[in-house]
Amino acid sequence: MQMNDMVLISVDDHIIEPPDMFETQLKGDVLASAPQHKETPDGTNYWEYQGMIIPYVGIGAVTGRPPEEYGMEPTNLAQHRRGHWDVHARIADMDVNGIAASLNYPQMAGFDGGLFQKAKDKDAALIHLRAYNDWHLDVWCGAYPGRMIPNALLPTWNMEETVAEIKRQAAKGVTSVSLNDNPTKAGLPSIHNEYWNPMFKALADHDMVINLHIGAGNPAPHASDETPIEAWITTMPMSVNVGMADWLYLKALRDYPTLKICVSEGGLGWVPYLMERADYANWRHKAWTHIDFGNDKPSDIFKRHFMICFVDDIFGLKHLEDLNEDMVAYECDYPHSDCLWPEVPEYLWRSVKHLTDVQIDKITHGNVMRHYNFDLFSHFKREEITVGALREKARLAGVDTTPVSYGGVKPTENPRVVTSGDIARMVMSQQKAEEPA
């Protein structure tokens, strides 16, 4: 196999929601009360919903800019590359990047739909969450069958409606949902509470994947506001260890052996030690902790239930034998700053070329197709959807990848080391500027 022969599926990308998204699904009063895309007199865009302000700043959507602007944040839709929010341009950006299919998380609504969880009027929030799901499936994913893996939101504040939405989405062919890795951060019971039992059963019954995205619940910690932002970025993938360990000890994984999880933006290289440590902790302490894994070790449970994903992880792929190679997947993270667009194939090939063709196929698309019940090859022949074929299609279409300076908010006015506090203050100041007078 050569680089251009790979077939790539990304299980973590993001949508900058277009302003008219709810207009395609709702009308009348429920449309008027849906999240509204607004603009300040100075041209700054933001969303408003039930008194909440959702700024564009803080989302890291910088694909298509020169690297010097990765720290800048777009404040207007015009400061985004069109592929961030327009599905037709997104497909073109996938083609030029050699990406055959993509799973997308919300942005304005929160990775887990947290916007609707925070809403005071839960009856309206339920209507709008369902409308979001319908837009995501029918408009965003439906525009190009076979190129997107649907990812539904759930009204987790109401368990009866959560189960109903799982059934509704399953009937429409959706095979995954996005959840908060720590629902206590949203004022809900912990994942270990019996409150969630009906949801776990419904997800297992309908063979749906639980997508857990970094930052939805557990925060990525940093040492101080003076900590250089690069130090924070460095440790972000490993910060998912708290949530991964919490879910590893979830009783539902033993109650429902087919329950499936996918963890985004955690990487691979440090995971073998997490499993080793869990095995040691259980062996050493189970006499008094009363955690019963039966005949399994915690690492067995992890390898069976958890799909783990990577943007760039040479070390992890060199130590694939310490993981479950059937539960490793690629993630592009378009349009965030870690995304290697439009050079994903070049970087990925550097990391996987030492593997066998069978292993490369597993990691690049086969594992995802199995885990998500997503049959890419029922829509396309392999030779139509390889890196080489897609890039040729993009070349003929004239897709331009030249970096463009779009402008936006800067974390600092002077060229100095950017800190974690700089980024936090930039987000807070922009949100305050967008609040209605």
Query: What is the distance between the terminal CA atoms of the chain, rounded to a whole angstrom?
Result: 60
pLDDT digit string (tens) for 55-78? 887 678 999 999 989 888 888 999
pLDDT digit string (tens) for 310-344? 999 999 999 999 999 999 999 999 999 999 999 99
**Poorest-confidence range of 131-135, 220-224, 242-246, 293-297?**
220-224
Indicate if the alpha-carbon torsion angle 317, 323, 329, 334 is positive or negative.
negative
Inform me whether the pLDDT recorded for 436 exceeds 60. Answer: no
Coil, strand or helix: which one is 193?
coil
Closest by CA to 103, choosing from 206, 208, 19, 9, is 9
pLDDT given for residue 309 in this prediction:
98
**Average pLDDT estimate for 139-149:** 98
% the chain with pLDDT above 70 = 98
Which whole-number Å values give the CA distances from 366 to 327, 329, 372, 398, in the listed order? Answer: 10, 9, 10, 30
Strand runs labelled E in 202-325: 209-213, 260-264, 306-310
pLDDT given for residue 412 in this prediction:
87
pLDDT digit string (tens) for 18-46? 999 999 999 999 999 999 999 999 899 99
Residue spans of the domains in the chain: they are 3-434
Closest by CA to 8, choosing from 103, 114, 134, 128, is 103
**Average pLDDT estimate for 413-431:** 83
Residue type at 53?
A: I
Inform me whether the pLDDT recorded for 155 exceeds 90. Answer: yes
pLDDT given for residue 414 in this prediction:
83
pLDDT digit string (tens) for 250-263? 999 999 999 999 99
Topology of domain 3-434 in CATH is TIM Barrel (3.20.20)
pLDDT given for residue 114 in this prediction:
97
pLDDT given for residue 432 in this prediction:
60
Are 234 and 279 in contact, with CB atoms under 8 Å apart?
no
pLDDT given for residue 426 in this prediction:
83
- Sheet of strand 36-39: strand arrangement: 36-39, 45-49, 52-55
Q: What is the pTM of this model?
A: 0.96
Inform me whether the pLDDT recorded for 128 exceeds 70. Answer: yes
**Average pLDDT estimate for 413-423:** 89
Which whole-number Å values give the CA distances from 213 to 155, 226, 250, in the listed order? Answer: 17, 26, 17
Inform me whether the pLDDT recorded for 7 exceeds 90. Answer: yes
Residue type at 336?
A: H
pLDDT given for residue 58 in this prediction:
66
pLDDT given for residue 314 in this prediction:
97
Count of H helices and E strands in the chain? 17, 11
pLDDT given for residue 298 in this prediction:
98
**What are the residues whose beta carbons fall under 8 Å from the beta carbon of 275, sequence distance 6 or more?**
298, 299, 302, 303
* Residue 155 CB coordination number (10 Å): 22
Closest by CA to 216, choosing from 335, 311, 334, 105, is 105
pLDDT digit string (tens) for 283-308? 999 999 999 999 999 999 999 999 99
pLDDT given for residue 51 in this prediction:
96
Average pLDDT, the chain: 95
Alpha helices in 54-110, H assignment, sequence order: 87-96
Query: Is 123 exposed, middle or buried (CB count within 10 Å of its CB: 0-12, 13-18, 19+)?
Result: exposed
Structure tokens at 292: 């019963």
**What are the residues whose beta carbons fall under 8 Å from the beta carbon of 242, sequence distance 6 or more?**
182, 218
Distance CA 397, CA 305 (A): 41
Strand runs labelled E in 366-418: none
Structure tokens at 203: 């997800």
pLDDT given for residue 431 in this prediction:
63
